[in-house]
Homo-oligomer: A and B are copies of this chain.
Amino acid sequence: MDKSGDLSQKMYLYHMIKLVILGAGNVATHLFKAFQETKNVEVCQVYNHREGALHAFHGKTQTTTSLQELVEADIYLISVKDDVVQTLAEKIPFQNKLIVHTSGSLPLLKTGSKNGVLYPLQTFSKEIEVDSDTISFCLEASDKDSYHQLDFLAKQVSPKVFSISTNQRKSLHLAAVFACNFVNYMYQVGEKICEENAVPFRILHGLMEETLRKGISNSPRTVQTGPAIRKDYSTINRHLEQLHDAQDKEIYTLISEGIIKNNL
């Protein structure tokens, strides 16, 4: 059989993927919404060990708190805390199904059956809608067939699908802490300084937008500006005097040193 025939047959096989989601947190909820809007994926069931978190899914799909009641499906997508993923995977009462987790940190599951990883690289907040095609899906699988199935699944909701090894995924997870969580904390400190001085934070929005635009269309290293890169110590010292929170001072000093050291 030639390759294209092989692929088109697979496309046919996957034309409707039956999916069960295990977990009801931020990531599970956002993925549920994304997959529910596609033609080729049927989210048959959402499992969670506590009933409370399942309320949000009532009327949208079948829900259960019992692993014994799990329905048969093509893919079981586990999106729970890292430390219970493996245990949960082992309790799924079906053989030869593709079992997938969504963790940025865990290796492939240690199960006999086909398994994989579908790590959605994005920041998910409970109340904030996310456009699913902004999500980078980082995929890994135990075998080629499973990979193709995951690839088909992910591409139903986003064009940004990447084959990423466990180590690469771990490094992306770490890089994301800097490029997202720590960036947001820098915004937060900026906002606090504005509030303390009765300045509307929105005055900074254009600057934040331009910083992103430059950081995306260039290597961030090449577009740094500000007192540290200019080694403008008189401004740096004045800024340190302005800050009255000891931790903010420490952050200011440490990052300024980083900018000076790494941009020589």
Contacts and interface: CB of A to CB of B under 8 A. Distances in A.
A218 B205 CA distance: 12
Contacts of A121: 203-204, 206-207
A239 B136 CA distance: 21
Given A209-B134, A220-B184, A178 B203 contact: no
B122 A210 contact: yes
Interface in A14-71: 26
A152 interface: no
Contacts of A125: 214, 223, 225
A196 B171 CA distance: 9
A209 to B, nearest CB: 6
Nearest to A204: B179
B207 A258 contact: no
B180 A211 contact: yes
Contacts of A184: 211, 214-215, 220, 223-225
Contacts of A188: 220-221, 224, 262
Which of A138, A209, A215, A239 has most chain B Cβ within 10 Å?
A: A215
Given A180-B208, A203-B136, A212-B209, A224 B185 contact: yes
A191 B177 contact: no
Copies in the assembly, this chain:
2
Interface string A82-105: 110000000000000000000001
Given A197-B168, A235-B105, A204 B191 contact: no
A111 interface: no
B207 A193 contact: no
A160 interface: yes
Given A179-B208, A220-B184, A247-B261, A174 B193 contact: yes
A113 interface: no
A210 B170 contact: no
Contact of A199 (B171, B178, B203): B171
A186 interface: yes
The 5 closest A-B pairs by CB, nearest first: A181-B226, A179-B190, A171-B197, A187-B220, A175-B190
11 contacts: A123-B207, A125-B223, A128-B214, A170-B238, A175-B190, A178-B252, A180-B207, A180-B226, A182-B252, A184-B220, A188-B224
Given A121-B204, A251-B258, 7 more contacts: A83-B234, A123-B225, A168-B197, A176-B207, A176-B226, A179-B204, A180-B210
